[in-house]
Amino acid sequence: STQREENGQTNHFEFRASAIHDPQGEMIGYMLLAQDVTHRKKVELALKRSEKRLRKSQQFSNVGSWDWHITSDIIHWSNHAPILFGHPSGKEKITRTELLKVIHPDDRQRVVEAVNTCINQRSEYDIKYRIIWPDHTIHWLHEQGDVIRDEYNDPVNMLGVVQDITQAKEAEIQLRSQH
């Protein structure tokens, strides 16, 4: 339930009702519990607004983010990341094995080595590579990331961002071919 005060502030309440029974099982009344959830609702709204800003920012900058759970081999990615790989935006996760299949064969080993180096030698993950979309077009991506480690210093997740740099790479290649 929502209540608007005279000063314009909105307060939110949740109500729960329970029947009260006597020892013979006859209902003799109700118990009503009201809880002020205004703060929780404000926090939820702020979180939704922040998530919307992040989604829009990633869309405007043609960037996606990802979170690879190393032990399960599952990559959870932001709403815009699948689009950069030629998939619909509703695809929320993919395995690393599936993802490696779309990397151009000439770049695949270099990407695997860069990831392994980041995990094993704690070096920066910063790489540009090609992918092949389902329509067989080639696109260029730039990825940056780092590893999250547990209390034993073991790698748990790898987090990163990916940006489509196809237009810039095509312009660079065209400029090189002219000289």
* pLDDT per residue as tens digits for the range 119-150: 999 999 999 999 999 999 999 999 999 999 99
- pLDDT at site 127: 98
Q: At 129, is the secondary structure helix, strand, or coil?
A: strand
Tokens 């151009």 found at: 104
- pLDDT at site 54: 65
- pLDDT at site 145: 96
Prediction pTM value: 0.71
Compute the distance between CA of residue 78 and CA of residue 80 in angstroms, rounded to an integer: 6
Confidence band for 55, pLDDT divided at 50, 70 and 90: low
- Joined together, the tokens standing for residue 22 give 């006597």
